[in-house]
Structure 1
Amino acid sequence: MTIVAGLDVGGAHLKVSLVEDATPIAARQYLCPLWQGLDHLDTALREAEELTGRADAFAITMTGELSDLFETREQGVQTLVDRLTEKFGTAARFWGGQKFFDTANDAKTNFFDVASTNFLATATLAGQRLAATGQSANALLIDMGSTTTDLIPIVAGAPTPRGLTDPDRLTSGELVYTGLTRTSVMAVCTRAPFAGRWQSLAREYLATMADVRRVLGCLPDGLDVHATADGRGKSQAESVARFARMFCREPADADLATWQQAAQHVVELQLRSIQEGCAQVLSGVPRADIIVATGLDTSVATEISRRLQRPCQTFSQLVGTPANLQAAVDCNAPAVAVALLRGE
């Protein structure tokens, strides 16, 4: 039986999945700070050989071409295609969005279709599975990653985004540039309630949303793989210290409950920004009867579905994932999607 490996090559992570007999059997993410050099991709690919070494075919999608490492999107796609072809040879196929899969040469020629269209793979597969199960095939896919959140309308079982490029998607509301872990606090808000008063925050990279969620004790283990803003550890106490610096304060200036109240406000503002994107997207489609939740932590999309008063189903459930792999499949959804689409 053929085993297909799916790879989602991002600017911060390499996500890898394995699919056998139309069923996900493994999915993992690896640290890959691509902006620091191609050697980090090489390292991630070596670590991923525990999965890719078992595969007969490879389906690849990417967003890493937007990394600061590359001067243009075209250069990024062509460099990554060459690097990945060296690794996987002619067994590699590259996701081309609406064109589905390309060979390496076609991918380099049609770089515009290859660049940052991983969201279309996830939405395409979700739409197909919704249609096949007899449920409403009109849905809104919410995929919250470490850095960004995709909001993709699905109509009659097919993705129908108004934007295909990142600039267009930022305009259409389908790309909300906020994520579960890597987003800085200063990108979410400029003030927060503290001990009964509003306080302005430092507009400096001192803490991230991973810190905010650790303060609240709601960040699932293993999702934040990058270095912290001050290079120190990832305990709750160390996250409180970084969060306190946003207020130009020290942790001892308040008890944990006070810091958690402030942190909850920051999380709420981030959630509202995603909900506002949902409102914009939903205003342009006939209807979306179901929310399909996926990403690093599906609880955010689940909460939004509650506020929108729509039923919610996770991507991992839609694709028939064993219970013990569902969190990993949702965390690595585009990699899983391209593997399943190529296998089919």
Structure 2
Amino acid sequence: MQPERHVVGWDIGGAHVKAAWVRNGRLQDAVQWACPLWESLDRLDAVLAQARARWPQMRRAQHVVTMTGEMADLFASRAEGVRRIADHMARQPGIGLRFYAGEQGFVAPEDVAAQWEAIASANWLATAQLAARRVGDGVLVDIGSTTCDLIPLRQEQAAARGRTDAQRLMSGELVYQGVVRTPLCALAQRIDFEGRPHNVMNEFFATTADVYRLLGELDPAHDQHPAADHGAKDAEGTRRRLARMVGRDAEEAGAEAWLDFARAWRAEQLNLIGHNLDRVLAAAGVPARAPLVAAGCGSFLVEKLAAARGRPCVHFASQAVPLDPGAGPGALRQAQLCAPAVAVALLLERERH
């Protein structure tokens, strides 16, 4: 009998850590933890302790890491961030550790310093590589809590024009907006409330989580960070934060008016992401009926983007992730949320076997 193979994939971001447990090439579990890395690397230690409690057998697993957390302002440079995160992970118990370096493959801890540029913010490429093998032509649209990746897939390959964050910001393949942490003042400078346009207050009064929470579209399990005012996340607290964006109090209008206001913010975000998506589609020559491949906690927006363009929408998890027979009922939903962590684990497993 062949021994069981265990791989833990890690996606270490600046606000969350995502991890996936793969057994014998199939996903068994995936999870996301809040991790405000900008505060301290101790935040990462706390997450790793939770992972060890969830998966006591972690010591018997091969570990593989991708990251975006090197951008956190805890670090003086991206190179420093990659090295320090890698050093931290290298101290964790396991039978082996590799770092995902995009087109360079997987590198050992001792090679991280030399390969830091390939390792930095490469998590999107892992998801795109895995999705492309299953879907062929299309566009991966991974909308998370903070960012949105728009990656063209052509002939079973990731066909991004940019590789670094800076290049992808220029090409439109990276839109720095998400459905949880983005300040609303980043979406529009003027917006309608009760049929009249208002200038927007450029203050951190509310975030996109308030919009999608009020609309009932954001899974509460993905709403892990404090609200902008550290207040309640009930409907009353959410309306209060939204009202501040146009200099009002929640009591000045009824519940339906605030729902309409939330819909207006959603329309602004869809317009901005959609504009960049259209740029990516045109530049890559993606066929007209090729699907959008939805990933991330903002997958519900991808469905709207696809419908507006007459394209099918498929979900990354259902297309690209084989499930272990012992996986829990929510494993595919978690894989959708934790796509890069799942992808690096499955890519490493395929390289090794």
- Bin of the TM-score, shorter chain as denominator length: over 0.9
> Given the alignment of the two structures, is residue 222 of structure 1 paired with residue 227 of structure 2, yes or no?
no
Superposition deviation, residue 89 in structure 1 = 5.5
- Checking the alignment, whether the CA contact within 8 Å between 1:123 and 1:159 is kept in structure 2 is yes
Superposition deviation, residue 21 in structure 1 = 2.3
Aligned to 1:313: 314
Cα distance in 1 between the residues matched to 2:105 and 2:152: 18
- Checking the alignment, whether the CA contact within 8 Å between 2:99 and 2:106 is kept in structure 1 is yes
Cα distance in 1 between the residues matched to 2:8 and 2:179: 26
Superposition deviation, residue 90 in structure 1 = 6.0
Superposition deviation, residue 206 in structure 1 = 0.3
Residues 76-225 of structure 1 mapped to structure 2, 5 A cutoff: 76-88=81-93, 91-130=96-135, 137-225=136-224
Superposition deviation, residue 105 in structure 1 = 1.3
> Given the alignment of the two structures, is residue 7 of structure 1 paired with residue 10 of structure 2, yes or no?
yes
Superposition deviation, residue 217 in structure 1 = 2.3
Per-residue CA deviations over 1:211-259 (Å, capped at 9, x if unaligned) read: 1112222221211111111111211211111111111111100001111
2:21 corresponds, among 13, 18, 21, to: 18
Superposition deviation, residue 295 in structure 1 = 0.6
> Given the alignment of the two structures, is residue 32 of structure 1 paired with residue 35 of structure 2, yes or no?
yes
Aligned to 1:247: 246
Aligned to 2:336: 330
TM-score by length of 2: 0.93
Cα 1:165–1:52 shift into 2, 3 Å: farther
Superposition deviation, residue 320 in structure 1 = 3.9
Cα distance in 2 between the residues matched to 1:285 and 1:51: 42
Question: Which segment is superposed worse, 88-97 or 309-318?
Answer: 88-97
Cα distance in 2 between the residues matched to 1:278 and 1:197: 29
Residues 46-61 of structure 1 mapped to structure 2, 5 A cutoff: 46-55=49-58, 56-61=61-66
Cα distance in 2 between the residues matched to 1:88 and 1:156: 39
Aligned to 1:134: none
- Checking the alignment, whether the CA contact within 8 Å between 2:148 and 2:175 is kept in structure 1 is yes
Superposition deviation, residue 166 in structure 1 = 0.7
Aligned to 2:299: 298
- Checking the alignment, whether the CA contact within 8 Å between 1:97 and 1:121 is kept in structure 2 is yes
- Checking the alignment, whether the CA contact within 8 Å between 2:63 and 2:94 is kept in structure 1 is no
Per-residue CA deviations over 1:133-173 (Å, capped at 9, x if unaligned) read: xxxx1110000010000000111101011000111100101
Structure 1 segments unaligned to the other structure (5+ residues) = 131-136
Question: Which segment is superposed worse, 263-272 or 323-332?
Answer: 323-332
Equivalent residues, number: 338
What amino acid sits opposite 2:194 in the alignment? Answer: A
Cα distance in 2 between the residues matched to 1:51 and 1:109: 33
TM-score by length of 1: 0.95
Q: Percent identity?
A: 36
Cα distance in 1 between the residues matched to 2:172 and 2:292: 16
Aligned to 2:326: none
What SS does the aligned partner of 1:283 have? Answer: helix
Q: Aligned-residue CA RMSD in angstroms?
A: 1.3
Cα distance in 2 between the residues matched to 1:76 and 1:221: 30
Cα distance in 2 between the residues matched to 1:218 and 1:169: 28
Residues 219-298 of structure 1 mapped to structure 2, 5 A cutoff: 219-288=218-287, 289-298=290-299
Cα distance in 2 between the residues matched to 1:309 and 1:197: 31
Structure 2 segments unaligned to the other structure (5+ residues) = 324-328
Question: Which segment is superposed worse, 45-54 or 20-29?
Answer: 45-54
Cα distance in 2 between the residues matched to 1:194 and 1:308: 27
